[in-house]
Amino acid sequence: MTPASSGSRHSTMSIALNLSSKQLHRAAALRERMDKLEKQLAAILVPASESPATPAAEGAARPRRRRKVSKEARAKQALAMKKRWAKVKAAGKRSL
């Protein structure tokens, strides 16, 4: 929201106190529609090369989800690690 619109927001709040419930719902619906249209307009006006390619570039990075490994896969990994260490110990080394 721009500084100019934040000042007008205060005046709309005082006007909203004198509106009926039906008028308030209509005003809220119009505000949502205006916000949506402003976003669409901004997407059109900003060239693709200037717009952020990913949400992370915008600063709204979502947390990465951890991949879930099945019990069978973990068992295979553990077995493989044990085999590697057995091979290292048999060779007489202390580390990989």
Query: What tens digit of pLDDT does each residue of 38-48 get?
Result: 988 888 888 66
Examine the pLDDT at 83 and tell me if it is beyond 70. Answer: yes
- Percentage of residues in the chain having pLDDT higher than 90: 27
pLDDT, tens digit, for every residue of 53-80? 555 555 567 788 888 889 999 999 999 9
Q: Cα–Cα distance between 87 and 79 in angstroms, integer?
A: 12
pLDDT of residue 80: 96
Which one-letter DSSP state was computed for residue 17?
Answer: T
Q: Cα–Cα distance between 27 and 42 in angstroms, integer?
A: 22
Examine the pLDDT at 31 and tell me if it is beyond 70. Answer: yes
pTM passes above 0.75: no
End-to-end CA, the chain: 57
Extended beta strands in 1-96, E state: none
